[in-house]
Chain A
Amino acid sequence: MDFLLIQALSGLASAASLFLVASGLSIIFGVTRIVNFAHGAFYMLGAYAAFTLTDRFAGPLGFWGGLLVASLAVAAVGALMEVVLLRRIYQAPELFQLLATFGVTLMVQDLVVLIWGPDDLMGPRAPGFTGAFSLFGRLVPTYDILLILLGPVVLGLLWLLFHRTRWGVLVRAATQDREMVSSLGVNQKWLFTSVFALGVFLAALGGALQIPRTTVTHYMDLSIIVEVFVVVVIGGLGSVTGAFVAAVLVSELNAFGILVLPKISMITVFLVMAVVLVVRPWGLFGKPDAAPRASAGISVRPWKPMSALERGGVALVVLLAALLPFVSGSYALSVGSEILVFVLFAASLHFMMTVGGLASFGHAAYFGLGAYGAAFAVTYFGVPMEAALVLGPVLGLVGAVLFGWFCVRLSGVYFAMLTLAFAQITWSIAFQWVEVTGGDNGILGIWPSAWASTPQGFYWLALGVVVVGVAVLRMLVFSPFGFGLRAARDSGLRAEAIGIDAKRTQWAAFVVAGTFAGIAGALFAFLKGSVFPETLAIPMSVDGLVMVLLGGIETVSGAVVGAVVYKALAIWLMSQTELSKLVLGGIIVLLVVAFPKGIVGFIEDWRHRRPPAPNGAGPEAMGIAKVEAAQ
């Protein structure tokens, strides 16, 4: 009994920081409608900045002052980011906003290592709160008690801020109707910036308060952001009270989950999130109408089947690709095989993003599941490569069936956050369940059959699988299923009216995409001869997104081109610079700023400037008008 109480207290202490970060994310979203992926990065920066300041200035004033100054400084950085970057992209599709803030996250990861070094840092203890007191014969750190009290205090202060100040009233009004607020004479620009600064301040404070409890690491950003996404999905995006309740819930589940399932403690959180989503898809304290616009209309150009000329061109490209082994060495071939694998991965994501309107931030889960599936088949069942390439993707399929069922209940940013959370849960299982997955050490010795073991052989295998895979995906786009999917994307209600079960269709698309990602993953396992948790990690998911967006979202070939360009660039960058994340993040940010309406929007603008063609113009113009009306 006493043990349980201690465990509960420790959970409550963890909840404080989680609440601070999650409430900041929620407040920012409420007003700006941007899901700030960089929130975890600001949390991490808060911890690092606080480390430096408290390291330099000792004593109570140095410590508490250091935490405060660190948080304020990071808030200023956040405000700067809002002014310089976000103001340019408030009109952009939400996917691009997520992507831009993700680009910032990548950059911060490298910058942090550059400034503070790669090693974990140990901060000082809080002066006056270094001890512990005994409760039922067990020790509870007094700092934990401080944190436990801090949570409700911050909740109360935020309440006062939002209900007792003019600024707070304006923020609450803008959360409901920004346009009306501006017609009443309020300059929203500064309202947005101040809201953003407050949200970032809360995140940084959450990080700074952690330094007496845990080491400061350069990967603390991704671990917190996933927990924060889970918290806001459970609590309801935009609700501070929801963030508080859900932060406590998630922290307690973590604290007790360790006891029940020590290896895979995330499972308990997952189960609770699943139940909440089924009962209240908009979260415990969220409002159904607060659901953001669906990411419909991401592709507006009507699809056309390929002309004979285009078919010939594709055949020629495939033929040239097949001849590559005769002219290039084995390094180039292994790079080529890797690029091919990612072509299939990107095409599968593209399928559900453009045709289905489902922009997943966790597509790597199914890629990784396919890879692990193949590895399990080889390691535990001793099957040959050919069978493993079929069995492996089945794991991806099963994962997509399970997770997809929940995800398609949401749309827009909620969908993106949930897919990300599921991917991260899959990652933590692969990472923590060492007996089965080998944990960080991965599974080694996944070699291809003899005929495919040369670089040439494997390249041809990959080419064959990928060409067939992409062709099948493209056929699906033009099948009745593909049209049903687009109907569901454009208007769920209208699709239902013509007899299409929108959710079921989207679920099917999710499963198709997951399965093809799994095929790519299984190939990847044999290409590398091993599987590691990184195959399921967030950067892998985002790689897929960038490929699709880079290539242009309108056509299947866009995903193919994007994958080739991006993967080649990434492999080259890795070999050229230590700071590949900084460069990559910078490229992503620049891309989003250069194409603030998305690449499609850019192309559309460009097309509008030309006189419309006499034949195809009618339906196209209508399609565009419809999409804009929907926005």
Chain B
Amino acid sequence: MKLEVSGLNSFYGQAHILFDVGFEVGEGEVVALLGRNGAGKSTSFRSVVGLVPNRSGKVVFEGEDVSRLPPYEIARRGLGYVPEDRRIFTELTVEENFEVGRQEARPGVATWMPERIYALFPNLGEMRKRPGGHMSGGEQQMLTIGRTLMGNPSMVLLDEPSEGLAPKIVEQMADAIMTMKKEGLSIVISEQNLHFAKLISDRAYIIEKGRIRFSGTIGELEANPEIRDAYLAV
């Protein structure tokens, strides 16, 4: 297993948000974490990468328990995180954003250079000197993914990569994720519905009110519309 999460309980202040959340991702697999607004998708991702200070549970990445490590140590082990609100550095140019994400090459893992990322997202190649704040939402989404790739991760968590994007950009995004998969990356994406997730995912989990409610293949999910209607947005 690439990533094994179990018994995750997370809190924001006094509020208990995640209840015994667990999921697994195999080597090279693309897994979707699905759920409605406020279901706990982002909190799950943030808990895995060490950004929720108040949490308990186990996060095993490549056989190592990383649940006590600070975020930068987790990132350096090759677990990349792309936040939902993009959080690009608005004052920094495209190139500088990439520089912040840059890490040493990691043996056995695809190494990313800015040129390879421009090949993946040609739009970015045309605006290398532009500050991140002066880019469209779609371009910013590409930038934030590229920035994480610059750390040469072996796995990435993508939080709602299709959110608020035009259909044409969504297609481009799906292609890019498939390319990343071909490069050998393991990927978890979070989405509110199946539309985008079913294009790229092998398996899916559904989270609702901080609990995992369903686990299975995309095919099983499509065969059970009542589950979809109960837990997902349309």
Contact = CB atoms under 8 A, between A and B. Distances in A.
* Interface of A, helix, strand, loop or mixed by DSSP: helix
A173 B51 contact: no
A297 to B, nearest CB: 11
Interface centre among B12, B14, B151 (most CB of A within 10 A): B14
Interface string A604-631: 0000000000000000010011011100
21 contacts: A169-B96, A172-B89, A172-B96, A173-B89, A175-B91, A176-B91, A177-B89, A180-B87, A182-B72, A183-B49, A184-B101, A184-B147, A184-B148, A185-B75, A185-B101, A625-B12, A625-B14, A625-B15, A629-B12, A629-B13, A629-B15
A607 to B, nearest CB: 12
Per CB-CB distance, the 8 closest pairs between chain A and chain B, nearest first, are A628-B13, A185-B75, A625-B14, A173-B100, A625-B13, A182-B71, A185-B76, A173-B89
Given A169-B100, A172-B92, A621-B14, A185 B87 contact: no
A172 B91 CA distance: 8
B90 interface: yes
B89 A176 contact: yes
Interface string B90-127: 11100011011111000000000000000000000000
A500 interface: no
Contacts of A440: none
B70 A182 contact: yes
B81 interface: yes
Q: B12, B87, B97: which has the most chain A beta carbons within 10 Å?
A: B87
A186 B13 contact: no
Contacts of B89: 172-173, 176-177, 180
Contact of B103 (A180, A185, A188, A621): A185
Interface of B: 12-15, 49, 51, 70-72, 75-76, 81, 83, 87, 89-92, 96-97, 99-103, 147-148, 151
A185 B151 contact: yes
Contacts of B92: 169, 172-173, 176
A173 B15 CA distance: 31
A177 B71 CA distance: 14
A184 B72 CA distance: 6
A577 interface: no
A428 to B, nearest CB: 37
Given A180-B83, A188-B72, 16 more contacts: A169-B99, A170-B100, A172-B92, A173-B97, A177-B87, A179-B71, A182-B70, A182-B71, A183-B71, A183-B83, A184-B100, A184-B148, A186-B100, A624-B13, A625-B15, A629-B12
Nearest to B147: A184
Contacts of B97: 173
A184 B99 contact: no
A263 B121 CA distance: 65
A138 interface: no
Given A184-B151, A185-B75, A176 B90 contact: yes
A126 to B, nearest CB: 38
B69 to A, nearest CB: 11
Contacts of A625: 12-15
A184 B75 contact: yes
Residue among A173, A175, A627 having the largest count of chain B Cβ atoms under 10 Å: A173
Contacts of B101: 184-185
Contacts of B81: 183
A408 B8 CA distance: 44
A5 B90 CA distance: 41
A81 B71 CA distance: 25
B53 to A, nearest CB: 9
A628 B12 CA distance: 8
A183 B72 contact: yes
A8 interface: no
B13 A183 contact: no
B14 A186 contact: no
Contacts of B49: 183
A56 interface: no
A140 interface: no
Nearest to A177: B87
A188 B99 CA distance: 16
A187 interface: yes
Interface in A566-624: 621, 624
Nearest to B81: A183
A166 interface: yes
Contacts of A561: none
Which has the most chain A C-beta neighbours within 10 Å: B51, B70, B71, B148? B71
B16 to A, nearest CB: 11
Contacts of A180: 83, 87, 89
A175 B100 CA distance: 12
